[in-house]
């Protein structure tokens, strides 16, 4: 992106974001953003979300109000060393990262990742040096419950890292619905896309299955759909991985008699071991279910509760449009310039009897194909060990439902308004970005207002 384009991207960003978001939210009674700044628009919209079609943060049918609120409270509950926090971490709870407008939403603070490329051009996550995720917080100088003085150093990006990136926590609304969609559906989406922009279905190994799903098995392969790279299949694995990687709390699980210990050890600063008594106030694995004999299956209760919360967290409701004609034209332009080639408007429909208990035959529109694409400079070059440089450059098509509630856009938050985000697209999406730029200002505003209505 040259300096002229960058200047165009940054021009009047906040002012346009406020005006267009105000229009998109005007169907939610009481929301008036005409004289507000971007932050106050978001706060006002979120605080009044219950006036929209249904409450933002409501749950899907299939779980009681009591269980859902208990799960939400656990998701947002701050932890300490007595709960297993540490020795290094990025936040004290899941809800402290996924927080906008409430636990399970997107985040506005990025986490840094690092790695390097091997001579054969494959990716090395530098796991031996604590990679790929950088932990910015530490227990530091502290005294454990036995009275022993501890000192935990702060992690840093290693000197041999050649690539770094930042990523925002994604919103988790509706992921329980997404989790039910069969792999073949994503193959169909890929086949239907024009060859020039066709994405790749990212099939990944399952480390910890959603045990109710008969198609998920430890070590099996499924289509990834979660994270910025579609690198994770289900919510149980997402929960256990994030609990350990971001909060520093380790867990062990049983699946069909097999002990899953992928996240059973606490993270250590730059891979340098911390004495067991100084990792936190729970020696060894923080939460373990124990022996897996007798073909036992049991997911550690914290991870299971987080997964239940994410499973039943409903999609963000669309606001009532104040200018239906604008939105219709905006949708036409969205499709005309090529945004819909990847941010597909195709309906997703849950199976008749979903394995996880969410409503069957439920239609939803996340506006993503969940495939990975070459998007030019947006590629962050961080991936899994052994993946090629070409593969780690690819990014998932970010779902657009509920995007109006995110003050920062794209994986690293570099954009704060829809128009800027579009202009940052390159690679397979460059033609769509150019076509957007060729529209008149009025047409661009219509397209942006449509996106903010999703």
pLDDT digits (tens, 9 = 90+) for 27-85: 443 333 333 322 232 333 333 333 454 489 999 999 999 999 999 999 999 999 999 99
Residues 412 and 300 in one domain: no
Cα distance between residue 58 and residue 214, in whole Å: 28
pLDDT for 36 equals 30
pLDDT for 8 equals 34
Residues 95 and 220 in one domain: yes
Residues 138 and 162 in one domain: yes
Q: Do 337 and 435 form a contact (C-beta atoms < 8 A)?
A: yes
Residues 92 and 163 in one domain: yes
Domain at 333, CATH number: 1.10.760
Among 250, 283, 312, which residue terminates a domain?
312
Tell me how many domains the chain contains: 2
Q: Which residue has the tokens 């003050």?
A: 407
Is the pLDDT at 9 greater than 60, yes or no?
no
pLDDT tens figures, 407-442: 999 999 999 999 999 999 999 999 999 999 999 999
- Write out the residue range of the structural domain in which residue 402 sits: 3-57+318-452
Instruction: Please report, for residues 70, 210, 257, 265, 312, the alpha-carbon distance to residue 305 in angstroms, rounded to integers and kept in the order given.
Output: 9, 12, 21, 20, 11
Residues 307 and 159 in one domain: yes
Residues 211 and 169 in one domain: yes
Cα distance between residue 180 and residue 183, in whole Å: 9
pLDDT for 319 equals 86
Residues 435 and 287 in one domain: no
Residues 72 and 51 in one domain: no
Residues 253 and 378 in one domain: no
Helix axes 38-47, 13-25, angle to 10 degrees: 20
φ, ψ at 119 (rounded to 5°):
-55, -30
pLDDT for 339 equals 98
Residues 327 and 385 in one domain: yes
pLDDT tens figures, 391-412: 999 999 999 999 999 999 999 9
Q: ∠ CA(175), CA(286), CA(151), 5° rounding? A: 115
pLDDT tens figures, 345-387: 999 999 999 999 999 999 999 999 999 999 999 999 999 999 9
Among 261, 287, 312, which residue terminates a domain?
312
For residue 42 the two structure tokens come to 């978001």
Residues 234 and 377 in one domain: no
The average confidence (pLDDT) of the chain is 90
**Lowest mean per-residue pLDDT among 5-9, 96-100, 129-133, 281-285:** 5-9
Among 312, 330, 361, which residue terminates a domain?
312
Cα distance between residue 179 and residue 176, in whole Å: 5
Q: Which residue has the tokens 């279910």?
A: 289
Residues 379 and 262 in one domain: no
Cα distance between residue 117 and residue 114, in whole Å: 11
């Amino acid at each position: 992106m040259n300096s002229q384009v960058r200047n165009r991207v940054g021009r009047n960003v906040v002012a346009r974001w406020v005006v267009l978001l105000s229009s998109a939210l005007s169907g939610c009674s009481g929301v008036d953003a005409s004289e507000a700044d971007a932050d106050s628009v978001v706060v006002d919209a979120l605080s009044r979300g219950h006036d929209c079609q249904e409450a933002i943060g409501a749950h899907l049918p299939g779980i009681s109000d009591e269980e859902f609120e208990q799960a939400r409270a656990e998701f947002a509950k701050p932890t300490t060393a007595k709960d297993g926090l540490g020795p290094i971490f990025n936040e004290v709870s899941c809800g402290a990262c996924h927080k906008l407008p409430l636990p399970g939403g997107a985040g506005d603070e990025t986490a840094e990742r690092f790695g390097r490329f091997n001579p054969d051009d494959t990716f090395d996550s530098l796991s031996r040096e604590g990679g790929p995720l950088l932990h910015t917080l530490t227990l530091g100088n502290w005294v454990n419950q036995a009275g022993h003085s501890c000192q935990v150093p702060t992690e840093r990006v290693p000197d041999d890292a050649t690539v770094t990136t930042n990523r925002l926590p994604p919103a988790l609304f509706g992921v329980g619905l997404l989790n039910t969609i069969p792999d073949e559906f994503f193959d169909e989406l890929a086949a239907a896309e024009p060859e020039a922009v066709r994405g790749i279905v990212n099939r990944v190994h399952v480390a910890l299955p959603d045990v109710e799903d008969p198609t998920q098995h430890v070590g099996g392969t499924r289509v990834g759909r979660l994270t910025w790279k579609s690198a994770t299949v289900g919510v149980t694995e997402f929960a256990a991985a994030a609990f350990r990687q971001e909060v520093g709390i380790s867990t062990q699980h049983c699946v069909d008699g097999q002990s899953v210990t992928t996240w059973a050890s606490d993270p250590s600063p730059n891979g340098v071991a911390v004495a067991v008594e100084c990792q936190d106030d729970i020696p060894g694995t923080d939460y373990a279910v124990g022996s897996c004999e007798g073909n036992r299956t049991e997911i550690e209760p914290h991870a299971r509760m987080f997964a239940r919360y994410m499973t039943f967290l409903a999609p963000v409701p669309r606001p009532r449009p104040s200018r239906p004609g604008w939105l219709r034209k905006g949708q036409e332009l969205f499709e005309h310039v090529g945004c819909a080639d990847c941010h597909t408007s195709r309906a997703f429909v849950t199976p008749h009897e979903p394995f996880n208990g969410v409503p069957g035959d439920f239609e939803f529109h996340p506006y993503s194909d969940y495939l990975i694409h070459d998007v030019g400079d947006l590629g962050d070059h961080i991936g899994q060990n052994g993946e090629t440089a070409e593969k780690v450059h690819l990014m998932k098509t970010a779902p657009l439902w509920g995007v109006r509630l995110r003050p920062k856009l794209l994986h690293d938050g570099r954009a704060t308004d829809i128009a800027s985000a579009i202009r940052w697209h390159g690679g397979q999406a460059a033609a769509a970005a150019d076509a957007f730029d060729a529209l008149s200002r009025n047409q661009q505003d219509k397209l942006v207002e449509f996106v903010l209505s999703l």
